């Protein structure tokens, strides 16, 4: 079995540096944080949830760091990892978004904790909107795998179903991201939930319809 020694690149160092930045931010402002720190906001941009100082400062960054590790591990152990390597742009988008989101979330939590007010919905929704647009552009190129993309029983069972579903999803996610960007810049976060539900449901229903039309349900029944 051939061993491959992967050298640590500049981008690897930057990635893991960003992964620990939330902890550094928390340490810098820890003494100024109250006992209860805002960590959740409603669609009206009003705080509706709090966490203890330690949870806000270190618990949430720990969870995000775990996610940064997990996304890398999942890509490495995927049985179809060769296909992931062929979808490297989408892989990099998902990897980097986790650490960038971790920094952004921690900045929001710390600034809110020290009493600085701003429109949290806009600050969060704009980068997420760009993420949806970016993912939408690369979804049609995503090859069948178990880590990224729209992983449904029907897409994983049929490569043609996977490809057609991801072509449609590319358009839906791009349009959904653009819509979210517009509403975010307008300071309106109400429609976000509807947009997210739509970009998930439309490809899912389309994939299921393709499966039924191909006789998937009948074939499944015969094989039982």
Taking the whole predicted model, whether its pTM rises above 0.85 is answered as no
- Classify residue 50 as left (phi > 0), alpha (psi -120 to 50) or beta: beta
Do the domain assignments include residue 201?
yes
Domain closes at, from 100, 118, 136:
118
Short-list 130, 36, 148, 136, CA closest to 86: 148
Q: How many domains does the chain have?
A: 2
Task: List the structure tokens of 44.
Answer: 């009206």
Identify whether residues 168 and 138 lie together within a single domain: yes
147 and 197 assigned to the same domain: yes
pLDDT lower than 70: segments of the chain: 1-6, 85, 216-224
Helix (H) or strand (E) holding 47: strand 47-52
Residues 142 and 93 in one domain: no
Residues 28 and 80 in one domain: yes
Give the C-alpha distances (Å, rounded to integers) separating 171 from 149, 164, 165, 174, 178.
14, 12, 10, 5, 11
* Domain contains 220: no
Closest CA to 78 of 144, 127, 23, 15: 144
| Tens-digit pLDDT profile for residues 3-52 | 455 678 888 899 999 999 999 999 999 999 999 999 988 777 788 899 99
Residues 16 and 107 in one domain: yes
Largest CA distance in the chain: 65
The residues, any chain, with a CB within 8 Å of residue 105's CB and separated by 6 or more, are 22, 60, 64, 124
Predicted local distance difference test score (pLDDT) of residue 5: 56
135 and 114 together in one domain: no
Element (H, E) at 56: none
| Residue-range definition of the domain harbouring residue 84 | 10-118
């Amino acid at each position: 079995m051939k061993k491959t020694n992967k050298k640590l690149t500049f981008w690897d160092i930057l990635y893991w540096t960003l992964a620990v930045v939330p902890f550094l931010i928390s340490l810098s402002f820890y003494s100024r944080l109250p006992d209860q720190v805002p960590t959740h906001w409603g669609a009206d941009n009003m705080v509706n949830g709090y966490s203890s100082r330690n949870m806000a400062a270190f618990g949430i960054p720990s969870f995000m760091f775990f996610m940064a590790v997990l996304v890398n591990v999942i890509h490495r152990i995927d049985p179809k990892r060769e296909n992931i390597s062929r979808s490297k742009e989408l892989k990099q988008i998902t990897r980097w978004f986790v650490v960038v989101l971790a920094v952004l979330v921690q900045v929001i939590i710390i600034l809110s904790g020290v009493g600085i007010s701003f429109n949290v919905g806009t600050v969060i929704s704009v980068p997420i909107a760009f993420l949806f647009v970016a993912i939408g552009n690369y979804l049609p190129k995503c090859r069948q795998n178990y880590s990224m993309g729209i992983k449904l029983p029907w897409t994983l069972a049929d490569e043609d179903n996977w490809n057609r579903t991801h072509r449609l999803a590319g358009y839906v996610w791009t349009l959904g991201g653009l819509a979210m960007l517009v509403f975010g810049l307008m300071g309106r976060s109400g429609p976000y939930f509807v947009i997210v539900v739509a970009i998930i449901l439309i490809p899912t229903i389309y994939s299921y319809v393709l499966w039924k039309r191909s006789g998937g349900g009948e074939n499944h029944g015969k094989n039982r």
